[in-house]
A and B are shown apart, each in its own frame.
Chain A
Amino acid sequence: MERLNKIWPPLAVLLAIVAIWWYAVIATESLIFPTPAQVVTGTMELVEDGSLWEHIGASLMRVGVGFSLAILVAVPMGLWMGRVEGAFRTLNPVFQILRPISPIAWIPVAILWFGVGNASPVFLIFIAAVFPMIVQTAAGVHTIEKRYLRAAENFGVSRAKLFRQVIVPAVLPEIIVGMRISLGVAWLVVVAAEMIALRSGLGYLIIDSRNAGNRYDLVIAGMIIIGLIGLALDGIMRLLEKLKVVRWRYGR
């Protein structure tokens, strides 16, 4: 019952939006903008010829590869910058300059360096995901409470143990927050990147549907699917926050 009470209000808002959309299309007698029913029919077309799964799979694969590479680089880098003052002083300004550059602005550079294959969007996702994660991880190391570091010093533990049992678990909640932010940005970027070149992916689906005969039903379908997958990805990252080793940080 309580669950139902939580689900009802957002569901009602969504239904209202669909209703207004439907009414507006009919009232304005638009020839191009589709009704919700047309969007559903269009989506079913894509499901039936199997191309929807191909587009989704292609986008997810690019995000998966770029995001994984970003984790592999950002976490060690962030930990290092958090622990070594000199590294932080040297590298932080560089990352602070690179971070606000929209990944979209990198698209021409990506095409120049990596061509129009899969490598370009993977690179763009890497660029989008890596900086927030580095910054978040380094900040996480900096905010480890002194009393814990003191205790570790008091017990005279080795560097390896200090890292394994104090630094990494203390920062893990921040790393997960960084991952969540990064994955959100990465998903934004993959769609934008696919609009430029490529022959697959949800971004390509949107642009191609518009170019190939104003199929706005498929444009809207693509947008809604992007939103739903983004929601699902965020949900998966939220599951990480429920892990026992990080629950201490997010409240009980």
Chain B
Amino acid sequence: MDAKISVNQIKKKFNALPVVDGVDFSVADGEFVAIVGPSGCGKSTLMKIVAGFEHPDEGSVNIDGKPMTRPSPKGIVISQHGSVFPWLTVQQNLMFGLNGDQQHGEKAALADHYAEMVGLKGFENAYPHELSGGMLKRAEIARALVVKPEILYMDEPFSALDALMNLKMRNELLRVLSEERHTVLLITHDVEEAIYLADRILVLSPRPTRIQGSFKVDQPHPRKLSTPELQQLKEDILSQLGL
């Protein structure tokens, strides 16, 4: 089977400082891959390259076998600080990415469907500043799902939330993904989050970053992080990270 995302030996320097140094991996269709690494290792740069916002100095990124040149609605980025437009209502935000020539009513119905799916029913006409951090994150996920992307790029999506909301959103994400299977690339510094969510975990080295380990997670969802296997997995990943 062809890989959905294939990243081939990409390298990136900022001025003379090498940040990404020969990263090579692929993600299968429908697979959930998490990338963990120490902070400042170049995770976000890697994500920007894979999502098409920046170009690598060397190497290439292919999506469905075609070279990635610029961002497209095929793969939507969800980032730490979020990008829900504060000047649009929840519904207007969710309709933002719908560029087709459907009627306004159809678009609104689609937006409302996804608002309900993430638990924002009743808040369609609220402005983002009237929402809590968790609700804002749901709105952002819904806005991505509305355009039916094949890939979700998540860059530390829940790390700006408080600890409880962080745990809650993990389950919400899994629930939403079980309804519509997407290919997901998650970047995080949180090893437990990666173990809880992903099918496969890649471990990055410090800067200049490259992939130094790969772990498969076979347990079915919902996972219990306290099981001996997953505890062992966490130990192994942490020791790769030098802890």
Binding site for B on A (CB under 8 A): 147-148, 150-158, 161, 165-166, 169-170, 172, 244-249, 252
Contact = CB atoms under 8 A, between A and B. Distances in A.
Contacts of B96: 152, 155, 157, 165
Contacts of A169: 85, 87-88
B76 A155 contact: yes
A156 B99 contact: yes
Contacts of B147: 155
A245 B127 CA distance: 9
Given A147-B81, A156-B73, A172-B87, A244 B127 contact: yes
Given A154-B76, A154-B77, A169-B87, 20 more contacts: A147-B79, A147-B83, A148-B83, A150-B53, A151-B83, A153-B70, A153-B71, A154-B73, A155-B73, A155-B76, A156-B73, A156-B97, A157-B96, A165-B88, A166-B85, A169-B85, A170-B85, A244-B127, A247-B129, A248-B128
B152 to A, nearest CB: 11
Contacts of A154: 51, 71-73, 76-77
Secondary structure class of chain B's binding surface, majority of residues:
loop
A151 B71 CA distance: 10
A158 B128 contact: no
B67 interface: no
Interface of B: 51, 53, 70-73, 76-77, 79, 81-83, 85-88, 92, 96-97, 99, 127-129, 147
A169 B88 CA distance: 9
Contacts of B81: 147
A245 B72 CA distance: 28
Contact of B87 (A152, A153, A246): A246
Contact of B99 (A157, A166, A248): A157
Nearest to B97: A155
Nearest to A151: B83
Considering the complex of A and B, which 3 residue pairs feature the smallest CB-CB distances, nearest first? A248-B86, A155-B97, A151-B83
Contacts of B72: 154, 156
B85 A150 contact: no
Contacts of A155: 73, 76, 96-97, 99, 147
9 contacts: A147-B81, A150-B83, A151-B77, A154-B73, A155-B99, A156-B99, A166-B85, A169-B88, A245-B87
Contacts of A247: 127, 129
Nearest to A251: B129
Contacts of B73: 154-156
A247 B77 CA distance: 26
Nearest to B72: A156
B46 to A, nearest CB: 16
A244 B99 CA distance: 25
B52 to A, nearest CB: 9
Contacts of A150: 53, 71, 77, 83
A144 to B, nearest CB: 11
Nearest to B71: A154
A248 B87 contact: yes
Nearest to B77: A154
A248 B76 contact: no
B87 A170 contact: yes
A166 B84 CA distance: 11
A244 B88 CA distance: 10
B10 to A, nearest CB: 20
Nearest to B153: A154
A252 to B, nearest CB: 6
A230 B146 CA distance: 49
A50 to B, nearest CB: 46
A154 B97 CA distance: 9
A100 to B, nearest CB: 32
A158 B87 contact: no
Contacts of B77: 150-151, 154
A73 B160 CA distance: 42
